[in-house]
């Protein structure tokens, strides 16, 4: 159960778009449409932003979108806002019925 691979950090200016990747294997990301993304601000609990690759929960801004190609899932945030600055984590269902997180990506809004 190796962690999914995410970039340690990404940055962007207000109004720009950024994409965070999440790379796994055919036994997790590539094999199932059960990838979720979470936003975590310092000292807070994680918040679900995207589930089942590309679905947004009620109340989450449509500036957040998800996709998947092969073994890599992606989270795109458009129209960056200062409040988007946070850590972002992906997670995938696996072939052994477990789950595995990515290492997390720190988003800085310059």
Partner 1 sequence: QLQLVESGGGVVQPGRSLRLSCVASGFSFGSYLMHWVRQAPGKGLEWVAVISYDGNSKYYADSMKGRFTISRDNSKNTLYLQVDSLSPEDTAIYYCARRGSMDVWGNGTTVTVSS
Chain positions contacting partner 1, by CB under 8 A: 1, 3, 34, 36, 38, 40, 45-48, 51-52, 57, 87, 89, 91, 93, 96-104
In the complex with partner 1, which residue's Cβ is closer, 100 or 109?
100
* Residue 10: other Cβ atoms inside 10 A: 17
In the complex with partner 1, which residue's Cβ is closer, 4 or 109?
4
N-to-C CA span, the chain: 35
CB of 6 to partner 1, least distance (A): 9
Q: Percentages helix, strand, coil for the chain, rounded to the nearest 5?
A: 5, 50, 45
CB of 98 to partner 1, least distance (A): 5
CB of 28 to partner 1, least distance (A): 11
The C-alpha atoms of residue 19 and residue 24 are separated, in whole angstroms, by 16
In the complex with partner 1, which residue's Cβ is closer, 64 or 89?
89
In the complex with partner 1, which residue's Cβ is closer, 35 or 109?
35
Among 108, 37, 107, smallest CA distance to 74 is for 37
Residue 32: φ, ψ to 5°: -145, 150
């Amino acid at each position: 159960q190796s962690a999914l691979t995410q970039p340690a950090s990404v940055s962007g200016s207000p109004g720009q778009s950024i994409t965070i990747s999440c790379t796994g294997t055919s036994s997790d990301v590539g094999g199932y449409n059960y990838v979720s993304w979470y936003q975590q601000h310092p000292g807070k609990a994680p918040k679900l932003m995207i589930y089942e690759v590309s679905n947004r929960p009620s109340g989450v801004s449509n500036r957040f979108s998800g996709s998947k190609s092969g073994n890599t899932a992606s989270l795109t945030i458009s129209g960056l806002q200062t409040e988007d600055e946070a850590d972002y984590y992906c997670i995938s269902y696996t072939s052994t019925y477990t789950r595995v997180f990515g290492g997390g990506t720190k988003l800085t809004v310059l």
